[in-house]
Structure 1
């Protein structure tokens, strides 16, 4: 437990400029990986950065839409570069980071044909973890690594605005021995004592550290790699000046405000770094133009933590909640980006919106695709398990119909296979089903034959044997075998026939005069637990023949409101 407990001063932010992170690092990380996974992304030959075309596409996938305009205007994005580095650090992706020196005179490495590859094993293992475990790994990675290069003293955070100290001498003195990860963890621990939603002054945090934990970053007796560095003392690396690179004023440990000028500056830059990037806090800056010595001091004047931060720290985040709506939308509410749940639902639905509440909409085509690919999939059970509640009745009924359609095998009686040009005149009225632009199943073949002859065409009627297709004449335009196109085999050389039984299920198709009657009939079939395939374009309902008795009951019930006659199609 932190001793003594921080007792920070509440802040008045009326005159300050508030900044909160509009990016969701978790969403954007997964969007980046999914993007590079689906295409060949080649990095720039000289700089090894992402090329501009990929930056533009990625900007449209990021959670903050303002990045799109920024990339269009300036051709780069600090945030996308940060996500790019994060994916590499996680080892979700890999690419050459060392390069080659092309010739003896090359002073900079080149990166020819440097494509990004995704390590799907590592990535899938990560997204399979519980959300709190994913978050802990993300936090731990950013605590140990300052992705913006060097550390908070020298380089401005991707989302920050405060400049750093001059890097002159940054590889000497106390700097190589400082444990920045330890300092970041300590500051995160201090922030856990803050009340969420309450603004605190940064100066009171710095004062608390100065009085009770003055060596949280720089040890009282630091180690030096070289003895001669000791003569400059604990603050030998830090200088102030009128410009970014000037070293006019050496900060001395004996100065009364030395802690504020060194560790205080670090605290300001820490707050606009890791906690902001992870969306744990908001910060407030002074609106007054800064005219003091650089790097800036006392500019980030207030901060406040949020509930998400404290939930993560306690390991008790609000678990994702999925709600299936009667309009087939699925609302996914989650404190952290629920990548695993969304990855499952996207296979069944289209994304309508992504935010703290993501909205998806079930799509029949996607559901049928999953049913065809996964024979063991129970869509209704899956959605009820993931939402932890029963589905709305209309959604359940519709899904049952979709499931029935996926299992349907349609057998057409008194139909023939027709092959002909797609632009043949007035052919649609004979069509039962189009298989391709040139092949369809038709009814009334004799009438169709006469119709084609009247149009001065030359139809050809072929009757196939039960054992094999009859070869068509050589001059016929067809996708089927022609005479002489294959070498006949002698009966002596023929292989023994293998036995096989094909089971037939006869389908009944009702053609309706109006949607209203069709809908009432469809509801009756569904209520009778009869799988039915509906074609609203053709106003047809198709179902297995053994449900005919149920259909008759429905017809009898509907005769109370309709005059119904059943006619067979010739």
Structure 2
């Protein structure tokens, strides 16, 4: 353990990370795997409609407010990029210029692709290896202009250095992954739960490893750069003009002003995002930009020590007699929860997650997979034997499931079948004139060719569809009989006039619909006919979108 100065944080503003990075990462990837997401045409961001749905599923509900108020979420953007860097998803990050007059890149038809093999391989690893993989990706970014000096982390509040010249001189020779790894190892030698002074951490580093960030010997070519190893960094007075700045290379406390600022910004980056530290900030007014000595204190968590000491335990699972399943895990156990959520309802979800076996879910899973051994699954996951009453209940539920067979992709045919059609399509005969059949649409075409005059009905999941009186069926409900004509009453009918906008070109149609979604508006669009249908109240939205496309497309609306 290293010796640092303990501090009182009563007068400081404490910041705790309320997000669960691991849970949010898996939530995001699952959502992508289940949805076709086309990224924004202009800035490659996630469409607002998808952002809102994702935000509602994340660990911190404040993300919904951020999207409603600001139109975006830095945290979701961070999780989005992390899932890309881990290889769980794939999409284009380099745009194209759509013509000689284009000043910015565009991202046409940029759909997110889910890499199921990579993700499954990740899930099949231990929680320790999963944590190591995430940390490695975050630590490994070595770009001279994408680091704590110049880029804000999703939870950071500290301002940054001006990035002008960030890829020149000293910056090109800083090994950021090595510096971050060193700092993480230092933090893992602190007692968890104890508030330490950030200044004492910076002082410790200056006394013991002053060249942890900027190498002692720099192969600089420029004469000016050789004179000042800190030539990339300048500061100015708060409220001062950009031109009124000065370098820090000749100042006595230059280590605190450069390396010290890096330490502050590192603490509110990877360690804070990962839930490894809590931090505090001073409420005093900043005298210089970037701020210095603003992040006054930090405390490490048990999660950091487990991760860095390679001591992350697999989830501990206990099945109770009341059908509750308790899952204890400091790190989000995605694989275990994926297996249990098909069988359980969630009571609480945290480090200590409580689930409860749900009879309907169990019966459904058993009906789909008759070989599924739920007692065996729970026995393999649990640290203790399953209570006898729970085993008995599961066995009873399994008997209920035996009464059900789930047919997916099949249809129900009412009517007598000839031998040829029965051999080709029939699966199970329920009654002499009722059969479960394979390929119902193919059978429908077969019966049409045989001039049987079939009727094809697709029932919704919510219930059986009503049929006309001249259609005979044992299952579908009939339309309600017409009631007697009431006495004449006077009504005022509201008329809505729809306008159909026809686009002659696929390019402008996709640009229009993409911009429409970016603005958070939803209208009736038809990709096949390249048309947009709207009412008078939506005309303003349509015109605003068309006006925003004037630089790319000259449009004239002509009535027909």
Common fold: TM-score over 0.5 = yes
Q: Deviations over 1:194-230 (max 9, x none)?
A: 1111111000011111111110000112123x43452
1:158 equivalenced with 2:154 (yes/no): yes
Map residues 304-323 of structure 1 onto 2, 5 A cutoff.
Answer: 304-323=299-318
Tell me, yes or no, if structure 1 residue 324 matches structure 2 residue 322: no
Aligned ranges 1:277-292 → 2 under 5 Å = 277-288=273-284, 290-292=285-287
Q: Distance in 2 between matches of 1:273 and 1:176?
A: 21
CA distance in 2 between counterparts of 1:146 and 1:178 reads 8
- For residues 301-340 of structure 1, the C-alpha deviation after alignment (integer angstroms, 9 at most, x for no partner) is 1101111111111111233111223332222111100001
Counterpart-to-counterpart distance in 1, 2:404 and 2:358? 22
Structure 1 pair 278/175, CA: closer, same or farther in 2 (3 Å)?
A: same
From 108, 124, 127, the equivalent of 2:123 is: 127
User: Hey, what does 1:380 align to over in structure 2?
Assistant: 375
Equivalent in the alignment of 1:535: none
Q: Which residue of 1 aligns with 2:184?
A: 188
CA–CA distance in structure 1, aligned partners of residues 101 and 186 of structure 2: 52
- Partner Cα separation in structure 1 for residue 432 and residue 232 of structure 2: 89
Distance across 1 between alignment mates of 2:286 and 2:27: 41
Aligned positions of 1:336-375 closer than 5 A = 336-375=331-370
Q: 1:247 to 1:354 in 2, by over 3 A?
A: farther
- Residue 303 of structure 1 corresponds to 298
CA distance in 2, matches of 1:142, 1:470: 64
Q: How far did 1:107 drift?
A: 1.8
Determine which of 23, 33, 40 is the counterpart of 2:19.
23
Task: Report how many residues are paired.
Answer: 420
Higher relative contact order (CA 8 A, sep 6+): 2
Alignment of 1:493-508 (within 5 A): none
SS of residue in 1 equivalent to 2:288: coil
Structure 1 position 357, deviation (Å)? 1.9
- How far residue 118 of structure 1 moved from its aligned partner, in angstroms, is 0.3
Partner of 2:46: 50
Task: Give, in whole Å, the separation in 2 of the partners of 1:191 and 1:60.
Answer: 33
Q: Within 2, Cα distance between the matches of 1:319 and 1:274?
A: 23
Match of residue 461 from structure 1:
none
1:54-73 → structure 2 map (5 Å cutoff): 54-73=50-69
The 10-residue stretch of structure 1 (381-390 or 228-237) with the greater mean CA deviation from structure 2: 228-237
Tell me, in whole angstroms, the C-alpha distance in 1 between the residues paired with 2:330 and 2:162: 39
Tell me if structure 2 keeps the 8 A contact 1:148–1:155.
no
- Distance in 2 of aligned mates of 1:39 and 1:470: 40
Contact 1:333 1:356 survives alignment (8 Å)? yes
Q: Per the alignment, in what secondary structure is the counterpart of residue 265 of structure 2?
A: helix
The answer for unaligned runs of 5 or more in structure 1 is 411-434, 440-465, 472-478, 487-570
Select the structure of larger CA radius of gyration: 1
C-alpha contact 1:240 1:247 (8 A) present in aligned 2: no
State yes or no: 1:214 paired with 2:229. no
Q: Displacement, 1:65?
A: 1.0
Instruction: Normalising by structure 1, report the TM-score.
Output: 0.69
For residues 147 and 386 of structure 1, what CA distance do their matches in structure 2 show? 43
Do the aligned partners of residues 196 and 168 (structure 1) sit closer, same or farther apart at CA in structure 2, a change above 3 Å counting? same
From 159, 174, 183, the equivalent of 2:170 is: 174
- The Cα shift of 1:485 comes to 7.0
User: Over aligned residue pairs, what C-alpha RMSD do you find?
Assistant: 2.8
Instruction: Kindly state the Cα deviation for residue 409 of structure 1 after the two structures are TM-superposed.
Output: 8.1
Q: Pick from 91, 95, 99: which aligns with 2:91? A: 95
1:406 and 1:379 map into 2 onto residues whose CA distance is: 12
- Structure 2 SS opposite 1:316: coil
Matched-pair contact (CA < 8 Å) for 2:173–2:215: no
**Shift of residue 384, structure 1, vs aligned partner:** 1.8
2:329 pairs, out of 323, 334, 356, with 334
Q: Provide the secondary structure at the position in 2 that maps to 1:282.
A: strand
